[in-house]
Structure 1
Amino acid sequence: MSRGSGHRARAVRDGARTTERFRGVPVVRLGSGFIRRSPAQASVVAFLSAAALFSALLALPLASADGRPTFLPDAVFTAVSAITVTGLTTVDTATHWSPFGLIVILVAIEIGGLGIVTLALLLARAVTRQLGLGGKLFAQQNIGSPELGDVGALLRIVILTTLSIQAVLFVALAPPFIVADGVGAGLWHALFYAVSAFNNAGFSVHERGLSEFSSNLWVLVPLAVGVFVGSFGFPVFLNLLKEKWRPKHWNLHTKITLITTSALLVLGAVAWSVLEWDNHASTGDLSPAEKMFRGLFASTMMRSGGFSLTNPNDSTPTTLLITDAFMFVGGGSASTAGGIKVTTLAVLILAIVAESRGLPDVTAARRTIPNGLLRVAISVTFLGASLVLAATILLRATTDAPLDRILFEVISAFATCGLSVGLSAELDPFGKYVLSALMLAGRIGPIGLAAALAVTQRKTLFTFPTERPIVG
């Protein structure tokens, strides 16, 4: 064989191997390789891809009740709101969407709640049998794995736990909804609200929202419990499954999350009840017991749940401001809730306490919190405030709405809460796209930042001289 023939034969074999490399499983390995190289960017791509897919589905004539294509900004806004488990809407969910459209929204909520990246990592793990260090670190950040072990098993536990809790909520909600709406509609409503509640989505399929169930504790209590439990986050679930009800064996994250969440629940209930006690537009005409329950329900929902028994427009300006603060905090890390997370708030408060007492270290429950974590908490908080400020400025420049209404809607979008003063439906297409981008940033931003910081940590072989600038 001539030298030319040998080169041609080798080229053919190389071409065949190249073609084969891009067929079947190796294509999945390319995606897995991207996750290993840049997990934070992979999460952004995953959310954007899902948002584009569900936007296209909701824009179809089949998805609307009248059989006409939905206005693209409204379809995009609804898809993003569902995939980020927010609950803000620009059209009435109960009347605008067809059964197909509602199913698309429900699927988007479930995928967004479980975590698109979680499902992608599970698929990559199942096909390629490996994730690599980057993928494992990102999975560890998303689901709270304490060690880089069998991430696939932990991901399956997360999915089974989610579906189990939703099944319990469905069983609890089915009887009252069947009594109110009939068997078929009742079962559908029980399923929809079970998924929406645990995922902290806040979508409602009744024309008047939950107002027609304002005195039905058989509906309201399971919804509140589902939202409250859903805000804990997967790291807490994994720790509780391992250690059961032995508080001494819980890790620091679980302790901080449960204590801070409970404290915020009580504080929010008291603040909301007191501020709205004599407000006849909301709870002023109710009995004391009903007022306190409304306050407890509102406190549960204002950090990410999104369901409401009273119109936020009827609340006092002070109540709206307090709600802004609670929405900005949000729920537990790696949960379906949004915001800067309760652990971030707790770490910042602990740092302030340590500084005021002149302590060299930040401690909690006989554990020292590393300074690196404090830097992450500060970064996440500053990032969240910057996003809220930028979106508020953009909307203030394009709408005549009062600043308090704009700020409320913006923080609700960033914190993926879903409470609304009705501004979303009033915005022009530019404003709707701004809030859509903010919802995506709020869902991706803190998690992506923390993951990027965790992966890109590096050691230095030298240090610079220390000098203290004047602060404060």
Structure 2
Amino acid sequence: MANAVVRQVLRRPVRLVPLAFLAVILVGTALLSLPPMHHDGQVRPLVAAFTAVSATCITGLTVVDTATYWTPMGQGVILLLTQMGGFGIMSIATLLAILVKGYIELSDTLTVQTETQAQDLGQARRIVVRIATSMFAAEVVAALLLVPRFHYSHGLPWPQALWHGVWYACMSFTNAGFSLHSDSIMSFVLDPVVVVLMTFSVWAGSLGYPVFWELLKKWRRPGQWTVHTRLTFYGFMALFLVTFTAFLVFEWDNPDTVGPMAVGQKVTAALAGGVMPRSCGFNIVDYAGIKDETIITTIVMMFIGGGSAGTSGGIKVSTFFLLFFLIVATARGEADVTVAHRRIGDETIRQAVTIALIAVACVVGGTMILALLTDLPLTHVLFDVTSAFGTVGLSMGVTPELPAGGQLTLMLLMFLGRVGTFTAASALALRTAARHYHLPEERPIVG
């Protein structure tokens, strides 16, 4: 009975999530349309709307140069939108991920000592406060490390170094990827300290709050980690090693990317190339010049994304590896899907399959639309479409060249990628119900 009551209460908030994000986007569009927000003073509603969607959905795709087009006031609005988008998706997704079970397992997922019923709104508020505190603390620490580096190593005056430090700390943790430099972070390839700090901040934000908090509390006791934390953390490590190695090997002698660099710079670029495609739009090299092998690897990683209840997009690491274990179990002829000596429920597997297929449909549909609207190379179109849906923000230079219809398509994909899959996953979990009867079984031919 308690579970049914909780699910009934939560269904309406789930439906309201897209409306809440849409409201923030509309307000952001109105603000960014004001003449003081951009240097030329001309009102470009589509540019303002595209930027507002990209910022609120913490994507980072742009149709104008953030460093030169927007005034400091406009950049401040973009920063505020990314903070609202990042905090909103982390807090809402975390609460729903916990509450769809019918109770809050704080002892397992948030390492608090007692279990509290979902009807305890005070505990829910404490979780939101803890998310805000963790997000603020992570960004402050990153900023404190970046500000002196920008001042002493890059010669920026203290006020400018402070602005750059705060900006890149926030954009890294929220995985937004907007840059105050026209070449994104390519100018920092000679500074491994800045690249490592920003990469680690991106990684921390994309893990997801439940995993981030559990690792913080139980990092010495991995045997006590939940299945979700194990899937996310070990999955992150595996995918990072694959992407890092692939980037380094494929681009090693590419004259358009890391070919002319020293060995240390190549490793630094590969480090960023192994993390940024997961969810953040910072690029350490010009992605218009990467090899086809790297394009394929990056597209796959952008599609997978990062951790649930975090600032990353994609179908999520846990979803991807649940599907992997499903394939393994099916190949072995096993009836159950098991991870870390735990059986995964059939409803969870169905949700993972559904989310993955919805994502495939969105990416394929978006690619077909842009292919019809433009004469751009298919790989370039697929790359930017996947980046938009995965709320990554990396681009091969296609986005600014798109006609209005193409930009509107990417805006829709960013919105669906940030809010749509999350809402669909929550709705599927909330709709789960046990039937008290079974229909006659029949097996169609598969394969």
TM-score (norm 1): 0.86
Hey, what does 1:44 align to over in structure 2? 18
Hey, what does 2:223 align to over in structure 1? 248
Contact kept? 1:39, 1:135, Cα under 8 Å: no
1:73 to 46, 58, 65: 46
Q: CA deviation at 1:238?
A: 3.2
Hey, what does 2:388 align to over in structure 1? 413
Q: CA deviation at 1:410?
A: 0.2
Instruction: Name the CA distance, whole Å, in 2 between partners of 1:378 and 1:164.
Output: 36
Q: Which amino acid aligns with 2:68?
A: T
| Unmatched runs of 5 consecutive residues or more in structure 1 | 1-33, 123-132
User: Is 1:386 matched with 2:364?
Assistant: no
2:145 to 163, 172, 188: 172
Q: 1:121 to 1:419 in 2, by over 3 A?
A: closer
1:304 to 252, 266, 279: 279
User: Could you tell me the percent identity over the aligned residues?
Assistant: 37
Superposed CA deviations along residues 90-133 of structure 1, whole A, max 9, x for unmatched, are 000000001110000000010111116847999xxxxxxxxxx9
1:317 to 265, 288, 292: 292
**SS of residue paired to 1:111:** helix
Contact kept? 1:339, 1:416, Cα under 8 Å: yes
Instruction: Name the CA distance, whole Å, in 1 between partners of 2:323 and 2:280.
Output: 24
Q: CA deviation at 1:461?
A: 2.1
Contact kept? 1:62, 1:68, Cα under 8 Å: no
Hey, what does 2:404 align to over in structure 1? 429
Q: CA deviation at 1:37?
A: 4.5
Instruction: Name the CA distance, whole Å, in 2 between partners of 1:455 and 1:308.
Output: 38
Q: Which amino acid aligns with 1:397?
A: L
Instruction: Name the CA distance, whole Å, in 2 between partners of 1:311 and 1:422.
Output: 9
* Mapping of residues 366-385 of structure 1, within 5 Å: 366-385=341-360
* Mapping of residues 24-43 of structure 1, within 5 Å: 36-43=10-17
| Unmatched runs of 5 consecutive residues or more in structure 2 | 1-7
Q: 1:260 to 1:467 in 2, by over 3 A?
A: same
Please say which structure displays the higher CA radius of gyration: 1
Hey, what does 2:183 align to over in structure 1? 208
Q: CA deviation at 1:309?
A: 1.2
Q: Which amino acid aligns with 1:378?
A: V
Instruction: Name the CA distance, whole Å, in 2 between partners of 1:358 and 1:250.
Output: 28
Instruction: Name the CA distance, whole Å, in 1 between partners of 2:349 and 2:184.
Output: 40
Q: 1:303 to 1:120 in 2, by over 3 A?
A: closer
Instruction: Name the CA distance, whole Å, in 2 between partners of 1:197 and 1:140.
Output: 32
Q: 1:342 to 1:135 in 2, by over 3 A?
A: closer
Q: CA deviation at 1:459?
A: 2.4
Q: 1:60 to 1:120 in 2, by over 3 A?
A: farther
Contact kept? 2:91, 2:131, Cα under 8 Å: no
Moved more, 374-383 or 452-461: 452-461
User: Is 1:283 matched with 2:258?
Assistant: yes
Contact kept? 1:35, 1:42, Cα under 8 Å: no
**SS of residue paired to 1:203:** coil
User: Is 1:82 matched with 2:55?
Assistant: yes
1:56 to 19, 26, 30: 30
Q: CA deviation at 1:329?
A: 0.3
Instruction: Name the CA distance, whole Å, in 2 between partners of 1:210 and 1:262.
Output: 23
Q: CA deviation at 1:462?
A: 1.3
Hey, what does 1:365 align to over in structure 2? 340
Alignment RMSD, CA only?
Answer: 2.4
**SS of residue paired to 2:136:** helix
Q: 1:277 to 1:64 in 2, by over 3 A?
A: same
Hey, what does 1:96 align to over in structure 2? 69
Superposed CA deviations along residues 128-164 of structure 1, whole A, max 9, x for unmatched, are xxxxx999549989x9779735211111111111111
Q: 1:116 to 1:326 in 2, by over 3 A?
A: closer
Q: CA deviation at 1:376?
A: 0.6
Superposed CA deviations along residues 7-43 of structure 1, whole A, max 9, x for unmatched, are xxxxxxxxxxxxxxxxxxxxxxxxxxx9745222111
Hey, what does 2:204 align to over in structure 1? 229
Q: CA deviation at 1:229?
A: 1.1
Hey, what does 2:423 align to over in structure 1? 448
Q: Which amino acid aligns with 1:158?
A: I
Superposed CA deviations along residues 208-253 of structure 1, whole A, max 9, x for unmatched, are 3212221112211110110111111012123234535311111111
Moved more, 148-157 or 420-429: 148-157
Q: Which amino acid aligns with 1:300?
A: V
Instruction: Name the CA distance, whole Å, in 2 between partners of 1:120 and 1:466.
Output: 36
Moved more, 87-96 or 444-453: 444-453
Q: Which amino acid aligns with 2:173?
A: F
**SS of residue paired to 2:343:** strand
Hey, what does 2:301 align to over in structure 1? 326
Q: Which amino acid aligns with 1:61?
A: P
2:131 to 153, 158, 162: 158
Q: 1:222 to 1:76 in 2, by over 3 A?
A: same
Contact kept? 1:139, 1:151, Cα under 8 Å: no
Instruction: Name the CA distance, whole Å, in 1 between partners of 2:316 and 2:93.
Output: 24
**SS of residue paired to 1:363:** strand
Q: CA deviation at 1:417?
A: 0.4
Contact kept? 1:40, 1:138, Cα under 8 Å: no
Contact kept? 2:355, 2:421, Cα under 8 Å: yes
Q: CA deviation at 1:300?
A: 0.7
* Mapping of residues 91-130 of structure 1, within 5 Å: 91-115=64-88, 118=91
Q: 1:206 to 1:453 in 2, by over 3 A?
A: same
Instruction: Name the CA distance, whole Å, in 1 between partners of 2:97 and 2:325.
Output: 31
The 4+ residue runs of structure 1 with deviation greater than 6 A are 119-122, 138-141, 143-147
Instruction: Name the CA distance, whole Å, in 2 between partners of 1:52 and 1:117.
Output: 21
